[in-house]
């Protein structure tokens, strides 16, 4: 899959887009921060904050429109046009960098944010068209790995470019070159016809945004997946924002160690994404999510105790080599890398879940809603940091501890709202950890449409095993007495279990069960029945 034309040109194109975003944004901030800029009408601090705000603002303004455009356009053609737009922006930026026209560069940063806002929906909604469902986890894993490594490379490259004697000229050449290569690779992406049929799309930033969010919230599972992804971006943005001060104030280290922390986090996410691919066994598997949640919490908490004591020499500052040679830092480095790995396990299945559960005609709009919420939560991360650090006087390690505890509570909330996530974990744990279940004939379960799964009844674990074998949620018909077990009743009810009993016990329940089955099949759902009604000692009906 990786080297096929339906994936590789797209993969390189999106990686180059993330790379160029971060090279340009960080070069601009570093040039302003470390250069003597006398022609700015406002302070350097205000410029840096304006840059951050102008880059993220387009995600609020244009994401909804981008989603509607993407659903009703040839995605490959749309990518080519967006990459051409990027090339135009970077060509203008190259001139502005050399002439030190910083206000022009600020305006161009807004246009780059706009280009990214339109690229986001097509970036993720193209995958379900280009790949088989069994390849979606793999595709998303590679995309997340490529994205975070590109962010890392772009950030580090910007620092190296700025300190070069002819940094402005090198920056200008770099951003234009990346844009040119990105446009050329986009030309190799195969055409994908539009799945929607809307020909006239109005541009309404506010009402369009609210409409896309309302439509997405109509599917609670997708909405919860979006909130979970957005929470991770909030958590990740907080870590990345605090790394410089954390390294200086708590680790007694210089800027090179900040790059090390960023590298550990980003490479961890890349590794976690690929691990997720390996343990998902070729299908969209929500069962790995709790491993990500637990990892983000456990390793986040451990960071509080992994911070070493201050160096004995009062004015000593760790450089890169001295930091990694000190064994006191190994535990902290491991924790940070594992937070990244846990993040990869967390977000990859959620993106794939949105792609498979959203209708093909509205997939890009669901991704657009996700991008809007991501941007909102990232802004919220800045507000959270200000409140906890400035108002409540938290230290940065205490802030990280707070995030770890909050992550645990967020995980509980998401699983309480969408019991399917918890059910998938239980079935995954049973099928792949406690037992090694071999699934044969998974392709017989239709990817869409109504179907009845008829099973024999060998053990009380049958339902969980069957649930783990299906990538679609299943409505189980269950004996009423079992469905009313006190500790499990809540889970069964939210799982859509259909209780049934004999007409002698309750004719009303009996008739209601058949009505519920009829309604579920009319809604194109999967229904599973155990016609034996009891355990079968020989596994034969």
Residue 448 pLDDT: 82
The answer on 274 and 422 residing in a single domain is yes
- Please indicate, yes or no, if residue 537 is contained in any of the structural domains: no
C-alpha atoms less than 13 angstroms from C-alpha of 258 in its C-beta half-sphere: 16
Q: What is the CATH number of the domain that holds 407?
A: 1.20.1250.20
The answer on 276 and 214 residing in a single domain is yes
- Please indicate, yes or no, if residue 540 is contained in any of the structural domains: no
- Please indicate, yes or no, if residue 144 is contained in any of the structural domains: yes
The answer on 266 and 404 residing in a single domain is yes
The answer on 392 and 341 residing in a single domain is yes
Domain boundary among 417, 436, 455: 436
The answer on 431 and 471 residing in a single domain is no
- Please indicate, yes or no, if residue 15 is contained in any of the structural domains: yes
The tens digit of pLDDT for each residue in 159-199 reads 899 888 888 999 999 999 999 999 999 999 999 988 887 76
Domain boundary among 413, 436, 459: 436
How much is the pTM? 0.89
The tens digit of pLDDT for each residue in 357-389 reads 998 888 999 999 999 999 999 999 999 999 999
Burial of 526 (0-12, 13-18, 19+ CB in 10 A): buried
The answer on 114 and 94 residing in a single domain is yes
Average pLDDT, the chain: 91
- Please indicate, yes or no, if residue 201 is contained in any of the structural domains: no
The answer on 505 and 377 residing in a single domain is no
Domain count, the chain: 3
- Please indicate, yes or no, if residue 539 is contained in any of the structural domains: no
Residue among 87, 85, 79 at smallest CA distance from 130: 79
Q: How far apart are CA 502 and CA 191, in angstroms?
A: 56
Residue 369 pLDDT: 96
Cα separations (Å) of 514 from 153, 452, 480, 498, 518?
Answer: 58, 13, 13, 9, 6
- Please indicate, yes or no, if residue 217 is contained in any of the structural domains: yes
Q: Which contiguous run of DSSP H or E holds residue 451?
A: strand 451-454
The answer on 306 and 186 residing in a single domain is no
pLDDT < 50 positions in the chain: none
Domain boundary among 193, 219, 240: 193
Residue 466 pLDDT: 87
Q: How far apart are CA 23 and CA 294, in angstroms?
A: 33
Residue 376 pLDDT: 96
The answer on 210 and 183 residing in a single domain is no
The answer on 145 and 14 residing in a single domain is yes
- Please indicate, yes or no, if residue 388 is contained in any of the structural domains: yes
- Give the SS3 label for residue 476: strand
The answer on 12 and 160 residing in a single domain is yes
Range of the domain at 74: 1-193
Residue among 267, 259, 112 at smallest CA distance from 182: 112
- Give the SS3 label for residue 25: helix
C-alpha atoms less than 13 angstroms from C-alpha of 401 in its C-beta half-sphere: 11
The answer on 180 and 311 residing in a single domain is no
């Amino acid at each position: 899959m990786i080297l096929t034309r339906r994936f590789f040109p797209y993969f390189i194109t999106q990686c180059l887009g993330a790379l160029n975003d971060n090279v340009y944004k960080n070069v601009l901030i570093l040039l302003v921060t470390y250069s003597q800029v006398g022609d700015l009408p406002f302070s350097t601090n205000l410029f840096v904050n304006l840059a951050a705000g102008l880059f993220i603002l387009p995600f609020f303004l244009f994401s909804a429109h981008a989603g509607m455009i993407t659903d009703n356009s040839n995605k490959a053609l749309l990518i080519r046009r967006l990459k051409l737009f990027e090339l135009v922006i970077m060509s203008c930026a190259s001139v502005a960098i050399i002439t030190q026209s910083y206000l022009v560069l600020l305006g161009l940063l807004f246009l780059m944010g706009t280009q990214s806002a339109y690229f986001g929906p097509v970036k993720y909604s193209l995958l379900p068209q280009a790949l088989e469902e069994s390849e979606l986890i793999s595709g998303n894993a590679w995309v997340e790995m490529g994205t975070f490594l590109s962010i890392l490379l772009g950030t580090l490259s910007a620092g190296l470019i700025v300190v070069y004697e002819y940094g402005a000229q090198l920056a200008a050449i770099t951003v234009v070159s990346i844009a040119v290569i990105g446009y050329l690779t986009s030309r190799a992406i195969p055409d994908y016809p539009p799945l929607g049929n809307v020909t006239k799309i109005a541009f309404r930033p506010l009402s369009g945004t609210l409409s896309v969010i309302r439509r997405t919230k109509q599917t609670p599972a997708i909405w919860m997946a979006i909130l979970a992804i957005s929470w991770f971006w909030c958590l990740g943005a907080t870590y990345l924002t605090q790394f410089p001060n954390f390294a200086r104030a708590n680790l007694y280290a210089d800027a090179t160690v900040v790059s090390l922390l960023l590298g550990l986090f980003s490479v961890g996410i890349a590794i976690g994404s690929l691990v997720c691919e390996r343990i998902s066994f070729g299908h969209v598997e929500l069962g790995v999510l709790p491993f990500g949640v637990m990892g983000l919490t456990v390793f986040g908490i451990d960071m509080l105790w992994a911070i070493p004591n201050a160096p004995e020499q009062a004015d000593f500052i760790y450089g890169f080599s001295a930091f990694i040679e000190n064994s006191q830092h190994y535990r902290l480095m491991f924790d940070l890398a594992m937070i990244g790995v846990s993040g990869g396990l967390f977000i990859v299945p959620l993106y794939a879940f949105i792609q498979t559960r959203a209708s093909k005609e509205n997939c890009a709009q669901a991704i657009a809603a996700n991008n809007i919420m991501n941007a909102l939560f990232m802004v919220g991360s800045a507000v959270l940091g200000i409140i906890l650090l400035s108002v409540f006087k938290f230290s940065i390690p205490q802030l990280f501890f707070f995030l770890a505890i909050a992550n645990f509570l967020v995980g509980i909330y998401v699983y309480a709202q969408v019991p399917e996530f918890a059910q998938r974990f239980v079935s995954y744990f049973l099928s792949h950890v406690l037992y090694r279940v071999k699934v044969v004939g998974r392709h017989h379960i239709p990817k869409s449409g109504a179907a009845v799964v008829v099973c024999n009844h060998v053990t009380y674990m049958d339902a969980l095993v069957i649930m783990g074998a299906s990538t679609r949620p299943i409505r189980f018909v269950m004996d009423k007495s079992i469905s009313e077990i006190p500790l499990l009743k809540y889970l069964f009810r939210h799982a859509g279990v259909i209780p049934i009993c004999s007409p002698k016990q309750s004719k009303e329940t009996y008739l209601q069960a058949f009505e519920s089955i009829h309604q579920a099949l009319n809604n194109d759902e999967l229904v599973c029945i155990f016609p034996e009604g009891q355990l079968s000692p020989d596994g034969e009906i």
